Amino acid sequence: MVNGSRSPARPDATDDMTAAISAVAEAHGNRPDALLEIYHDIQERLGHIPEVALPIIARALNISRAEARGVFTFYHDFRAQPAGRHVVKLCRAEACQAMGCRQLEEHLTGKLGIRMSETTPNGAITLEAVYCLGNCALSPAVMIDGKLIGRVSAERIDALLCALDAGGAA
């Protein structure tokens, strides 16, 4: 679950954003043990966790910035940038590895021209790694916009991406 490669964006915090982030921390009593829940709630509200959130949260919870950042970077679920219109999560855990998820990842990143944790330049698709979708018997597995899909081949993922295009949103 370690993600050391992400570097959050660095926009300045607007007053509204600072207030929203502080309000979420406050709603959890500014408790350090609620850090994960706070991150989840911020991501739900803002669509991602901006860089500026980390020092605000560290201050509110009275923890170090390094600790706030360490937890943020450890979990792949937390996004430093807003997601694209569609989110494709590719399982990289053991059963899916045994069934060719690496090749599927190469196919997807090559086709979309992005790396994992990135979004296509047109904002259509974000590609994310996950570690077991609970669908190991039907690996390799992906999740597209919250929908779980098993036994995914390169041809099938192409068809699924085409279907997103056909929906007019990709």
Q: Which of 43, 119, 126, 135 binds ligand FES (CB under 6 A)?
A: 135
Give the shortest CB-136-to-ligand FES separation in angstroms. Answer: 3
| 56 sits near ligand FES (criterion: CB under 6 A) | no
* 38 within 8 A of 67, measured Cβ to Cβ: no
Between 86 and 89, CB nearer to ligand FES: 89
For 55-61, which contacts have Cβ atoms below 8 Å and span 24 or more sequence positions? 56/13, 56/18, 56/21, 56/22, 56/25, 57/21, 57/25, 60/22, 60/25, 60/26, 60/30, 61/25, 61/30, 61/31, 61/32, 61/35
Between 119 and 135, CB nearer to ligand FES: 135
| 157 sits near ligand FES (criterion: CB under 6 A) | no
- List of residues contacting ligand FES (CB under 6 A): 91, 93-96, 132-133, 135-136, 139, 141
